[in-house]
Amino acid sequence: MKVRIFIVEDELIHAEALKIVIEEAGFDLAGECSNADEAFELIQAANPDVVLVDIALPGVLNGMTLSEKIHKELGIPHIFTTSFTREDIMDQAVDTNPVAYLKKPVESSNLLAAIKIALQSKTEIQKHNKTYKTEYFFTRIGNKLIRIHFDDILIVKADGENFVSLVSDKKETACRITLKEIAGMLPESFIQVHRSYFINMDFLDAFNESEQTAILKGRHAPVARSFKKDFMKMIQKL
């Protein structure tokens, strides 16, 4: 799967320059936004690998507050692209734990090197921020961004390579995200019971031993042999 980059930049000329570098490097543009107030929900829905953030952005939030939120709540590495070189601003930027601080106009070699470092650090950032997992995320359905609460989900199941179905007691919602990507967002109440299924143990009603299926509010999920041992341990803890 291609590396996916999200751009938060309000100056068109710089945004276009970044997109050219991203496309020529073979990366995918996960999305773009020109203000910090709208960016967080769009980034959460897109779930990119790396976010490029300008510091001076219009809106109530600025690039620094947005980046701190991205780092703590989403665990996605960010790279600052900015015209600021003042020492006090750079000191504030460091507090948000950026992968790099690149001065505009950004040189392509510097940007690609920073993205490479960001990808290497992504796993460590997500581990460090495990306790900051959110109670919800946003997904695009049609032309709308819809808030999905994890405590409403019974089952998460893969639906092809790039989609999952979120199963509640009343409906199923298809989301354009891989099972691996959403697995990193799930609260600790979810466990994997099959290579294509996660279930929310808070809603487990029964385990059908003859069919090897977990039952959650009338919904069924298969429990594969390779995941059964951990599943049974979780049942004993309930």
pTM over 0.85: no
pLDDT at residue 93, rounded to an integer: 72
- Give yes or no for residue 207 having a pLDDT over 90: yes
Q: Domain 149-237, what fold?
A: OB fold (Dihydrolipoamide Acetyltransferase, E2P) (2.40.50)
Q: CA torsion 60→64→130→182, rounded to 10°?
A: 70
* Segments in the chain forming alpha helices (H): 12-24, 36-46, 63-69, 87-94, 108-128, 179-183, 225-237
pLDDT at residue 124, rounded to an integer: 60
Mean pLDDT, range 182-203, rounded to an integer: 92
Would you put residue 202 in left (φ > 0), alpha (ψ -120 to 50) or beta?
A: alpha
Angle value at C-alpha 1, between 193 and 182, nearest 5 degrees: 35
- Give yes or no for residue 56 having a pLDDT over 90: no
Predicted confidence band of residue 51 (pLDDT cuts 50, 70, 90) = very high
3-state secondary structure at position 90 = helix
CA distance 201 to 179: 18
User: Which has the minimum average pLDDT: 41-45, 52-56, 117-121, 192-196?
Assistant: 117-121
pLDDT at residue 46, rounded to an integer: 87
Domain 4-131: which CATH number of 2.40.110.10, 3.40.50.2300, 1.10.1490.10, 3.40.50.300: 3.40.50.2300
CA distance 201 to 121: 31
User: Which has the minimum average pLDDT: 15-24, 36-45, 94-103, 202-211?
Assistant: 94-103
pLDDT at residue 178, rounded to an integer: 87
Predicted confidence band of residue 161 (pLDDT cuts 50, 70, 90) = confident
CA distance 20 to 108: 9
| Cα four-point dihedral sign 164, 192, 73, 134 | positive
Q: Tally Cβ neighbours within 10 Å of residue 94.
A: 11
Mean pLDDT, range 63-92, rounded to an integer: 83
User: Which has the minimum average pLDDT: 8-17, 38-47, 203-212, 219-228?
Assistant: 38-47
CA distance 92 to 98: 11
Tell me what the pLDDT averaged over the chain comes to.
87
Domains of the chain, residue spans: 4-131, 149-237
Report which of residues 185 and 206 the model is more confident about. Answer: 206
pLDDT at residue 127, rounded to an integer: 56
Structure tokens at 131: 């306790």
Residue range 95-146, pLDDT digits in tens: 788 888 898 899 999 999 999 988 887 656 555 544 445 677 777 777 777 8
User: Which has the minimum average pLDDT: 39-48, 140-149, 189-198, 228-237?
Assistant: 140-149
| Cα four-point dihedral sign 148, 120, 2, 197 | negative
